[in-house]
Structure 1
């Protein structure tokens, strides 16, 4: 068994696990899997419903520092952007793409100074306009991760093909799945070389492992 790890997961309702009757989401399932494998993991789920990149930019550092004492083996995971792409009352995006990318760059640059960082790409089942925004944002996020040498796991394509996720989301609020969808997503992320290397402390930059698409 390796030493203890503290992980902060920052994001929105998808990080929070909204809609999961088991209350685990993909985060809880990945942490449970790590513990079953013998990892001493303390996790903090800091996903907040409806949070945009601006909201996360305003809160993440203070919340992380309260949970990550000096000298601990820390990790920082982020997944956001879906709420930025969601439609506002006028039918436009809640957050312009340029603003989302500016927030993301600031978050990821600053976070990398504190601990190894992982970015999980955004996803949001929805209409064509929302999905087009998500697709464009994902491409920009991939490029940003490569530029900053921060590992990035793309989930958009997987969600678009995941029948259980889409079926459960459609049966629920139209966006969030139940246990089956989150379990499938946890399997997908957990199988990523970037996730495994980051969790094991072997990965500090995007050049060390291929991004998942």
Structure 2
């Protein structure tokens, strides 16, 4: 008897890509203040997954981290999570801690913050990991917000030089009623679930475009 094997697979069907994203940054990346423990990173990842765009998301946010701290640790933390063969990318976010005044001086000078970002983007490019940058949000301190706004412009300009998409959020969050109220009622810096909902909604269009390019194995376009 001759046994005929029939291939039931659709030749046009492509396997799902192994999409992995490291979110690396500070306490806002970690989602501090959110009783649901999602923050904006978890909300973006969960919504994309629910829409059929599966991914593995790694939250690498650490409280009080500055750009210098992130530069020191990003490669050791991202490398084992973003193996060769995966559709791997990195989302960066920092700046509030850099601009925090301690003993009359900021924790990092603006020039240093930009230099750290430049080195991060250079190393990410060499590693072949597309990057997306989310700017620092607003806090409940007008003077601190002015320093954040100043740094935000510098970080955005540096990302433009590297053709890396950047989403500035400080001015929008400074004027957002829910964000302002939750930050004020909280610790003065971090919102609750409603604030992170608002921030995730602001980031969603750029995130969706960036993630689609990552899934397709294409470079991100600003």
TM value normalised by structure 1: 0.91
1:111 aligned residue = 124
For residue 73 of structure 1, the aligned residue among 87, 94, 117 is 87
Distance apart, 1:2 and its partner CA:
4.5
For residue 97 of structure 1, the aligned residue among 110, 114, 136 is 110
Distance apart, 1:87 and its partner CA:
1.3
Q: 2: CA distance between counterparts of 1:159 and 1:166?
A: 7
For residue 37 of structure 1, the aligned residue among 51, 57, 82 is 51
Distance apart, 1:92 and its partner CA:
2.1
For residue 134 of structure 2, the aligned residue among 101, 110, 120 is 120
1:173 maps to 2:174: no
> What is the count of residue pairs matched by the alignment?
204
Larger Rg: 2
Q: 2: CA distance between counterparts of 1:187 and 1:164?
A: 13
Q: 1: CA distance between counterparts of 2:125 and 2:63?
A: 24
Q: Secondary structure at the match of 2:104?
A: coil
Contact 1:11 1:46 in 2 (8 A): yes
Query: Which runs of 5 or more residues in structure 1 are unaligned?
Result: none
Query: Which runs of 5 or more residues in structure 2 are unaligned?
Result: 1-14
1:131 aligned residue = 145
Q: 1: CA distance between counterparts of 2:147 and 2:31?
A: 22
Distance apart, 1:9 and its partner CA:
0.2
Q: 2: CA distance between counterparts of 1:54 and 1:42?
A: 26
Q: 5 Å matches for 1:1-213?
A: 2-88=16-102, 90-114=103-127, 115-190=129-204, 192=205, 194-201=206-213, 204-205=219-220, 208-209=221-222
Q: Secondary structure at the match of 1:75?
A: strand
